A and B are shown apart, each in its own frame.
Chain A
């Protein structure tokens, strides 16, 4: 950074002033008390003092109340310009403007305190920003501000100042960077440079992290910020979403509870209504039942009455029949009685005769014969009864046998049927097993076929892949043939680019930019070139042209002029670099027929692309070959599978496969083994059933044979007995048999009785006969009476019967239409309905229903409220993102985590570089290669030269404080030196530092105690310095540094040397001092 202009107004003793400074050496001269030091103070104030500082009061104009103002224009290494303007007042101002040409400035881009912050950072003099906490107000002092802008009164201050006075690290860092050039170990220096360049990428000169757009921290930090911001937004959205989901769940829960409650109340209402309905229904059914019962009872009653009448009629008729019988019997009895009476009268007459006795004897013989016949009949009857009982028993047995036969036949038939069925089932299962086996073989065939097809397909694909691999290999070979090996590597190309850049930079450092004007004083031919381009023909008397670096003129045969811009060292550097370009790059370009590096780069890129293509093709081929190798093993089965398939097909050849196909279709993917075991189980079960049925049949046959034997025996006996089952049953036969017994007994009793009678006395017989006659007479009378009575009763009964029959005939049609059964069925039906009705659990009333209705209404209201709440919650849910935002939040969290990791990685990386630089410098200090050492060498060398090797070495502390001077090996403090030598040493120290920094150095009457010989030495040194950096010297003795020819002419304020590096400035012509006129 260079100072190009200083302007003041109302600044201390100066009313106004403007000094334009050039690059190189600027000698500002003028008598004492002109204001030269005020100009330096103004520069110092502009660069370092905040306008708010009370020290600004010191700059108040001597003869006015105006505000002191200073403007300093700075030329930046970038080619742009800054102008600092400060007005020291209350309120004052600080403004920083920028310009491309140093003439026209834009609006201020910094104001107030920001101006000082910006300047201090740019200067890097070890002065902290005014915003730094704890920093002292007033004019800041640092090592470099003392070196570069020291005050006139304290020219040797630099010998007593150290870096410890700095308020930040920027000065140390700048010095460290600059002085490291003196480090002894080139490896160490290179490492330090590399590390420092990394540190510079990320840290400011003051050691703070850079916050500009190019800062690696900023990029990473921005990513983290963005990721955080995105995450926060998503989390908020997710929280809202969660809240909405929770709310909806809660509302749904409430709704469900309310719905349950409503359902409970509705159920309760329904129960009440059902109970009420049940009650009503039951009452209705009970009423129906009563009515049905009444109807049925009435009908039954009528029917009963009708039937009673009918039965009464029947009874009357029966009674009439009985009475008719009685009447007939009575008539018969009457006839019998009349007969008995006649018989008794005849018997009596007979008994009383002889013939009667003979008759009795004959009769007795008849009776005794009858007695014998009766005894024989009784025995026959007894035998007959015995046979009948046996036959009855045998017939019973035969019936049992027949039933047993039927049961056995049924068993046998069942067993036969079972046997047939199970035999058929077994056959079917065995047949199905055969199908399954065939299906298995079919499936094997298909599997093998499928595998074979798949393998053939794979084989085809493998061939395709092999062909593709071969093609890729061929393409690779072809591409590799196109590869050029004569091209430089990327590193070499980079190195070439760096060389070109170095050359361009070196050329840029030459400076230049000249306007050349040649005035021809007489006609002469002028030819020349500017920056290698031939000049157009000269005009008649004037030649004007602009040139950047170099021009040459041939002026007739008078002179040849060649002018090159830049310092000798810079030109040398350009020449060196140009030579390197010629030797290192141009042959390569020529060899490869490349126009320039861009062309070469295209060739290299094209070759790299070709190489990548080769690698890609090789990779593709390798991948295809690897796949082929991997599948080689599988394909080997292609050799064995056809044989296997043939064998399988042979196995099933000629066998119908329809059933097996059907099995496979039915099974689908199902297991054949499962079907097989199922069928085997079925076959086994059928076999077992078959055997069981056969055994049952055999048992039944055996049993039937035994039974047949028994039946045959029974039938034989029955045949022997010859007794069939009576037509009207055994009971009737028995009754008949009993009746015959009774009849026989009665006959025997009559015979016995008659025999007994025959044996009684004849007298008794006569009297008995007489009594019999009487009795017969009596019986006759009784029979007559009885007949009359019966006849009368019969007449009455017939009368009753006729009456009843009439009534019955009248009622019959009505009775026939009455279906008592239906009425009873109706009663039963209604009764069943009533029985089927649940018994009432509870008796409810209308008030219960009203209460239940009220409960339901209240529950409905609550449920509707809950449903509204749910709808609202659903509405809210519609506005959130649900699971989507949850997923996005997870991604954002991951992104943040990775961004933080990246940021941390960058921080660690650059912190590592920073720490490394710190430790390298620290080690450098402790190991002897510290800043002081670095500075000591060039200063000591110059000082020895200046003093004729009187002093061997200046010892400088690591903090750059001058420790002392070595004299004959002994270290002596700088105070031991003379004042003049001290100011010379101080000047050398400042000059060396300014040289290393490339910074502007301002010296204000610094060598007042120096003898002319050493002044002359300094003059040479200053001029040499002018090619490296700007030097501003304030002096009362301009000729100490300038030749007479370099002084401005009368009327001119500034004279610039031909080289442009020396500027003589008459300050008296640039400033107007208070109280004087210019």
Chain B
């Protein structure tokens, strides 16, 4: 047991956010979209497992749990079923509507939505502006939902202030952008000192997909990051926050725990050797890889490159080495400088075709190179 988890700990919570269930990865192939979308629901199991393993007192889900306010049934039903299977009793799970899944008359969080009727009674939806939930004897959670996709109010500063004599552990939960984030003005801005101003011991927030902890230590404001990355370029993702609230007014301890299965990478390939090196890497099954090809390859190398790409990405009949691959092959060129030599043993008519295609390179290089490669491939297949 770690030192934070001793008798000193008065309350343990797991803080998570930005699940984006049902997110459609429109820029990916159909099969990959399914994988990535499905992964978002799968990671919820890891989160609940982490909560159980650490025997937390509550699970706080700080918004954007669904990608849209009215997700397809498969997503809300899937989540509800996962929650139902947990059969937790003394471990409340609190779901907060975010800017992606705001609390509206028709949203999944509305009381009339079948999602609500499926939820066990220990799952609480923040569906009022004065939401308050006792967590144990000396702790309390205050939360306020997003009611639309854009807004300029600081929901954190609208949480109730600590009254004189209130010695409880006070936790706040809202969704929005802190003032150091781009476009925060209309995205439910959150003052970075809101926790201190409202007398909170911890402010659980969601929206930004990267892990971030704002001081002071005595009242930290935390983005736990999205548990599964949603796009290339995001960093510090795949986590939840385990928060240990300690007795005697000592600062809470925040521990970052990884739950995400998928890692996202961007690789620029400038040589066949680099591509072959990539092929030898292990653990690519749960990698989303964007491959940018920037190389000029002689026909044999070109063929090797395509073979590697097929092996990495897979085919309808065979799984690729990499979980999800996006290939940008705009920078892949066929090096035709010595291509005549490749066709030296071919009939004269084929050689004449090669010469004609080389001449064509001057006006339409890409098409001519592709034609030359087709020809090369056919000669290889016939050989």
Q: Beyond A884-B100, A916-B357, is A248–B371 a contact (Cβ under 8 Å)?
A: no
Q: B347 in the interface, Cβ–Cβ < 8 Å?
A: yes
Cross-chain contact A919 with B27 (CB below 8 angstroms): no
Q: A547 in the interface, Cβ–Cβ < 8 Å?
A: no
Cross-chain contact A877 with B367 (CB below 8 angstroms): no
Q: A245 in the interface, Cβ–Cβ < 8 Å?
A: yes
Q: B352 in the interface, Cβ–Cβ < 8 Å?
A: yes
Q: Which residues of B contact A881 (CB under 8 A)?
A: 149-150
Q: Which residues of B contact A245 (CB under 8 A)?
A: 150, 183, 185-186
Q: B221 in the interface, Cβ–Cβ < 8 Å?
A: no
Give the complex CA separation of A87 and B131 in angstroms. 80
Distance (Å) between the CB of A149 and the closest chain B CB? 33
- B232 closest partner in A (C-beta): A894
Q: Which of B354-378 contact A (CB under 8 A)?
A: 356-357, 360, 364, 366-371, 373-375, 378
Size category of the binding interface on chain A:
35 or more
Cross-chain contact B26 with A877 (CB below 8 angstroms): no
Distance (Å) between the CB of B248 and the closest chain A CB? 11
Q: Mark A864-895, 1 if CB is under 8 A from B, else 0.
A: 00000000001001101111111000111011
Cross-chain contact A227 with B373 (CB below 8 angstroms): no
Cross-chain contact B353 with A919 (CB below 8 angstroms): yes
Cross-chain contact A920 with B150 (CB below 8 angstroms): no
Q: Which residues of A contact B353 (CB under 8 A)?
A: 916, 919-920, 922-923
Please tell me which one of the listed residues A877, A883, A915 contacts residue B364 in the complex, with CB atoms under 8 A apart.
A915
- A926 closest partner in B (C-beta): B352
Cross-chain contact A188 with B350 (CB below 8 angstroms): yes
Q: A281 in the interface, Cβ–Cβ < 8 Å?
A: no
Q: Which residues of A contact B89 (CB under 8 A)?
A: none
- A886 closest partner in B (C-beta): B183
Q: Beyond A195-B378, A877-B152, A916-B374, is A927–B329 a contact (Cβ under 8 Å)?
A: no
Q: Mark A41-52, 1 if CB is under 8 A from B, else 0.
A: 000000000000
Cross-chain contact A894 with B177 (CB below 8 angstroms): no
Q: Which of A880, A916, A920 has the most CB of B within 10 A?
A: A916
Distance (Å) between the CB of A461 and the closest chain B CB? 14
Q: A90 in the interface, Cβ–Cβ < 8 Å?
A: no
Q: Which of A329-352 contact B (CB under 8 A)?
A: none
Which applies to chain A's interface (DSSP): helix, strand, loop or mixed?
helix
Q: B282 in the interface, Cβ–Cβ < 8 Å?
A: yes
Give the complex CA separation of A230 and B24 in angstroms. 13
Q: Which of A78-123 contact B (CB under 8 A)?
A: none
Q: A695 in the interface, Cβ–Cβ < 8 Å?
A: no
- A616 closest partner in B (C-beta): B319
Q: Beyond A191-B378, A249-B185, A922-B356, is A913–B152 a contact (Cβ under 8 Å)?
A: no
Cross-chain contact B356 with A884 (CB below 8 angstroms): no
Distance (Å) between the CB of A935 and the closest chain B CB? 17
Q: Mark B176-199, 1 if CB is under 8 A from A, else 0.
A: 010000010111000000000000
Distance (Å) between the CB of A248 and the closest chain B CB? 6
Q: Which residues of A contact B26 (CB under 8 A)?
A: 227, 230, 891-892, 894-895
Give the complex CA separation of A924 and B349 in angstroms. 6
- B330 closest partner in A (C-beta): A901
- B350 closest partner in A (C-beta): A188
Cross-chain contact A882 with B150 (CB below 8 angstroms): yes
Cross-chain contact A191 with B371 (CB below 8 angstroms): no
Give the complex CA separation of A881 and B328 in angstroms. 31
Q: A908 in the interface, Cβ–Cβ < 8 Å?
A: yes
Cross-chain contact A187 with B347 (CB below 8 angstroms): yes
Cross-chain contact B360 with A920 (CB below 8 angstroms): no
Cross-chain contact B152 with A626 (CB below 8 angstroms): no
Cross-chain contact B357 with A919 (CB below 8 angstroms): yes
Q: Which residues of B contact A623 (CB under 8 A)?
A: 282-283
Give the complex CA separation of A190 and B347 in angstroms. 13
Q: Mark B231-246, 1 if CB is under 8 A from A, else 0.
A: 1000000000000000
Please tell me which one of the listed residues A188, A194, A230, A248 contacts residue B152 in the complex, with CB atoms under 8 A apart.
A248
Q: A706 in the interface, Cβ–Cβ < 8 Å?
A: no
Q: Beyond A185-B347, A916-B353, A916-B357, is A883–B374 a contact (Cβ under 8 Å)?
A: no
Q: Which residues of B contact A244 (CB under 8 A)?
A: 150, 186
Q: Mark B1-30, 1 if CB is under 8 A from A, else 0.
A: 001000000000000000000000111100
Cross-chain contact B371 with A883 (CB below 8 angstroms): no
Distance (Å) between the CB of B62 and the closest chain A CB? 16
Cross-chain contact A190 with B382 (CB below 8 angstroms): yes
Give the complex CA separation of A622 and B364 in angstroms. 48
Cross-chain contact A898 with B349 (CB below 8 angstroms): no
- B69 closest partner in A (C-beta): A884
Q: Beyond A241-B150, A905-B329, A916-B375, is A911–B370 a contact (Cβ under 8 Å)?
A: yes
What's the tally of chain B residues with a CB closer than 8 Å to chain A? 50
- A245 closest partner in B (C-beta): B186
Distance (Å) between the CB of A375 and the closest chain B CB? 95
Distance (Å) between the CB of A249 and the closest chain B CB? 6
Give the complex CA separation of A908 and B356 in angstroms. 17
- B317 closest partner in A (C-beta): A490
Q: Beyond A877-B152, A880-B150, is A188–B367 a contact (Cβ under 8 Å)?
A: no
Cross-chain contact B374 with A882 (CB below 8 angstroms): no
Please tell me which one of the listed residues B151, B250, B317, B382 contacts residue A877 in the complex, with CB atoms under 8 A apart.
B151
Q: A297 in the interface, Cβ–Cβ < 8 Å?
A: no
Cross-chain contact A880 with B360 (CB below 8 angstroms): no
Distance (Å) between the CB of A948 and the closest chain B CB? 34
Distance (Å) between the CB of B1 and the closest chain A CB? 10
Q: A290 in the interface, Cβ–Cβ < 8 Å?
A: no
Q: B326 in the interface, Cβ–Cβ < 8 Å?
A: yes
Please tell me which one of the listed residues A882, A901, A927 contacts residue B348 in the complex, with CB atoms under 8 A apart.
A927
Q: Beyond A191-B350, A623-B283, A877-B152, is A883–B177 a contact (Cβ under 8 Å)?
A: yes
Q: Which residues of A contact B369 (CB under 8 A)?
A: 912
Distance (Å) between the CB of B266 and the closest chain A CB? 13
Q: Which residues of B contact A905 (CB under 8 A)?
A: 329
Distance (Å) between the CB of A357 and the closest chain B CB? 116
Distance (Å) between the CB of B288 and the closest chain A CB? 13
Please tell me which one of the listed residues B99, B250, B357, B378 contacts residue A883 in the complex, with CB atoms under 8 A apart.
B99
Q: Beyond A194-B378, A923-B349, is A915–B185 a contact (Cβ under 8 Å)?
A: no
- B328 closest partner in A (C-beta): A901
Q: Which residues of A contact B54 (CB under 8 A)?
A: none
Q: A929 in the interface, Cβ–Cβ < 8 Å?
A: yes
Q: Which of A178-196 contact B (CB under 8 A)?
A: 185, 187-188, 190-191, 194-195
Q: Which residues of B contact A164 (CB under 8 A)?
A: none
Q: B148 in the interface, Cβ–Cβ < 8 Å?
A: yes
Cross-chain contact B350 with A883 (CB below 8 angstroms): no
Q: Which of B149, B353, B364 has the most CB of A within 10 A?
A: B353
Please tell me which one of the listed residues A241, A668, A923 contacts residue B352 in the complex, with CB atoms under 8 A apart.
A923
Q: Beyond A245-B185, A901-B330, is A915–B352 a contact (Cβ under 8 Å)?
A: no
Cross-chain contact A880 with B349 (CB below 8 angstroms): no
Cross-chain contact B356 with A923 (CB below 8 angstroms): yes
Give the complex CA separation of A696 and B147 in angstroms. 75
Cross-chain contact A882 with B187 (CB below 8 angstroms): yes
Q: A909 in the interface, Cβ–Cβ < 8 Å?
A: yes
Q: Which residues of B contact A909 (CB under 8 A)?
A: 370
- A899 closest partner in B (C-beta): B27
Q: Which residues of A contact B207 (CB under 8 A)?
A: 883
Q: Which residues of A contact B28 (CB under 8 A)?
A: 898
Q: Which of A444-494 contact B (CB under 8 A)?
A: 490
Q: Mark B252-267, 1 if CB is under 8 A from A, else 0.
A: 0000000000000000
Q: Which residues of B contact A916 (CB under 8 A)?
A: 353, 357, 371, 374-375
Q: 23 A-B contacts, Cβ less than 8 Å apart?
A: A185-B349, A191-B350, A194-B378, A195-B378, A490-B317, A623-B283, A877-B148, A877-B151, A878-B150, A881-B149, A882-B151, A882-B183, A884-B100, A891-B26, A895-B27, A912-B371, A913-B371, A915-B371, A916-B371, A919-B356, A923-B353, A924-B349, A926-B352
Q: Known pairs A894-B231, A897-B27, A901-B328. 11 more at Cβ < 8 A? A: A227-B26, A241-B150, A245-B183, A668-B3, A877-B150, A882-B151, A883-B186, A905-B329, A909-B370, A923-B350, A924-B349
Q: Which 5 A-B pairs have the closest CB atoms?
A: A882-B150, A912-B370, A895-B27, A923-B352, A916-B371
